[in-house]
Amino acid sequence: MGSETGEEKMKGVIPFGIALGVLVLGPLLLRHETGESGGRPEETLTIITPHNEATRYEFGRAFAEEHYEKTGRRVFVDWRTTGGTSEIARYVATQYLGSFRNYWTGTLARPWTPECAAFDDPRATGAGLEARKAFIASNAGCGIDLFFGGGSFDYMQMAAAGRLVDSGVMRRHPELFGTPGAPRASGTDTHIPSALGGEALWDPKGCWMGACMGAFGICYNMDSLARLGIAQAPVEWSDLGNPRYADELALADPTQSGSVAKAFEMIIQQQIAEAGGNPAAGWERGMRLIERIAANGRYFTDSATEVPYSVQAGDTAAGMCIDVYGRFESEAVRRADGSSRLVYVTPRGGSSTGADSIGLFRGAPHAELATEFIEFVMSQAGQKLWCFRAGTPGGPEKYTLRRLSIRPDLYEPQWKPYEADPDVDPYAQGATLVYHPAWTGSLYTVIGFAIRTAFIDPHDELKEAWNALIEAGFPPEATAAFADMSAIDYAQASGSIREALRSPNKLEQVAMARELDEHFREQYRRAEELARRGM
């Protein structure tokens, strides 16, 4: 999931031009894929997703087959792939801007003013609030039916903006959705709890729901570890900060992928927990660890899926990844004896287990068919596609997806012989990390911005300083200069940085990014100089 800095600066200077470009060219640039049950399709379902080709194939095929069996009608599943969840969110937001503006000026015959742009802001006031009320009452759409895949944060944001609406699935299936806050019952109960380890699994208003479970962790190449002489495989986030991994880590840009941003948030959450629940102390510890991990990185990719592929190919020794990508790539290179050179591990105490979700868009062109798809995904038949091995009864046809079902009943003993990961039960094991939204929830976008400006944009200077520290044996003054996080500490993150990101004047964000970029480049140059002098 190229460099965002230039793009973001351009957004700040000419946002309307960028928006217009996306409106005109976006649909042409989207990648289209299909899933249908043979013959000429009579219905179309349009889904935008960050899911990989294997997931798109299995769900498109299975839904088309079930729909044909039920109705005798063939469905064309039109998959749209623009990148990671963050890129999808930006694309969808721009589509709704154009759609609502046409509705406001055309259907309502109202003049468009700058205040109208607050139509998707739940905090809108005055004239902006009037536009928002009109949007919520409208059927303005984005030309797409469903958002399928990605963490709950992006779904919460879209639901709050009014882009996702209640599909009615939760009301029609009380056997799946319990009272918010209710614990999981024992036995064969099918109720999906509202939360697990602090992570919401579905929206009480029905605008989105978890389609499967996901965590964040480390993937590593056994052959590469042997090459480096590393006998102990990484099992904690802190292991990736070891200098032995210098230039050997594959990492992804958190500003391009909401899931990757969540993984970095997990690192900070764990450090806050280990700091006794002190957000300021834990934030600083977390940023210092991320700095060391970033310094070990060979590169930052825009695509989260590229990380495990790079690791299994031996280009890098290890990386941070979403569990599905790590497990799936491990499955793809599994040998005949059942072993695999690529191993995925959820770091000890370092990741909560959250929902990978699905939601219905406002103004969906094929809302009834979209609702049917959601019901299929949440059904036992749909959930088996996530967790069963390919070729097993009720399992996927070609690809073992290596995901975790969100339905508690699929963790019962009778299903173990068919499951790809029979020893993993997030409900029985509980979360390895309890997520506390109060610690970092309001700083989610700040985390990605801070990592981008402090570690990614000045990555060359960061690595030069890190290599100098390694060669010099980490002299104290140079090490202290390198690890100075005062420019992005908790006070700055929750104060000036967050305010700049929230400001409607995007030039403030550009100025903040430039200031932090220059600050950290100079900081790393100074740390390198001190290290060369042995100080």
pLDDT at 39: 64
What does the pLDDT average to over 288-315?
Answer: 94
56, 189: one domain: yes
Q: How confident is the model at residue 86 (pLDDT cuts 50, 70, 90)?
A: confident
pLDDT at 30: 53
Residue in 267, 266, 255 with CA at minimum distance from that of residue 214? 266
Q: Look at the chain and report how many structural domains it folds into.
A: 2
176, 73: one domain: yes
Inside any domain, residue 68: yes
Q: What beta strand segments (E) does 105-177 contain?
A: 146-151, 164-165
pLDDT tens per residue, range 233-279: 999 999 999 999 999 999 999 988 878 888 999 999 999 999 999 99
290, 400: one domain: no
- Residue appearing with tokens 């091995």: 389
Inside any domain, residue 4: no
68, 47: one domain: yes
Per DSSP, what are the bridge partners of residue 78? 46
pLDDT at 259: 80
pLDDT at 186: 47
55, 187: one domain: yes
359, 339: one domain: no
Q: What is the signed CA dihedral for 40, 43, 49, 52, rounded to 10 degrees?
A: -30
Inside any domain, residue 8: no
Q: Indicate the residue among 400, 427, 454 that finishes a domain.
A: 427
50, 160: one domain: yes
Q: CATH code at 145?
A: 3.40.190.10
Non-local (6+) Cβ contacts of 281 within 8 A are 272, 275
Which range has the worst mean pLDDT, 11-20, 50-59, 142-151, 296-305? 11-20
The domain in which residue 174 lies consists of 20-213+355-427
User: Taking CA 373 as the corner, what is the angle to CA 372 and CA 378, rounded to the nearest 5 degrees?
Assistant: 100
What does the pLDDT average to over 505-511?
Answer: 90
pLDDT tens per residue, range 344-399: 998 988 888 889 999 999 999 999 999 999 999 999 999 999 999 999 999 999 99
Inside any domain, residue 9: no
Per DSSP, what are the bridge partners of residue 104? none
Residue 10 has pLDDT above 60, yes or no: no
Question: 459-472 and 506-532 are packed helices; what angle lies between their axes, rounded to 10 degrees?
Answer: 20
Q: Indicate the residue among 368, 402, 427 that finishes a domain.
A: 427
338, 229: one domain: yes
Inside any domain, residue 432: no
Bigger pLDDT: 151 vs 343 = 343
Q: How confident is the model at residue 526 (pLDDT cuts 50, 70, 90)?
A: very high
For 41, 177, 189, 366, 377, the CA distances from 180, given in Å and listed in that order, are 40, 8, 16, 29, 21
Q: How confident is the model at residue 11 (pLDDT cuts 50, 70, 90)?
A: very low
110, 198: one domain: yes
- Give the three-state DSSP class for 113: coil
What does the pLDDT average to over 17-41?
Answer: 51
Q: Indicate the residue among 427, 449, 471 that finishes a domain.
A: 427
Bigger pLDDT: 84 vs 117 = 117
201, 278: one domain: no
pLDDT at 71: 96
Inside any domain, residue 11: no
284, 186: one domain: no
Residue in 345, 355, 180, 199 with CA at minimum distance from that of residue 269? 199
Q: Which two three-digit tokens encode residue 516?
A: 């932090």
489, 401: one domain: no
SS (H, E, C) 180-238: CCCCCCCCCCCCECCEECCEECECCCCCEEEEEEECEEEEEEHHHHHHHCCCCCCCCHH
Asked whether 254 and 260 are in contact (CB, 8 A), the reply is: yes
Kindly report the length of the chain: 535
pLDDT at 38: 55
Inside any domain, residue 273: yes
Inside any domain, residue 275: yes
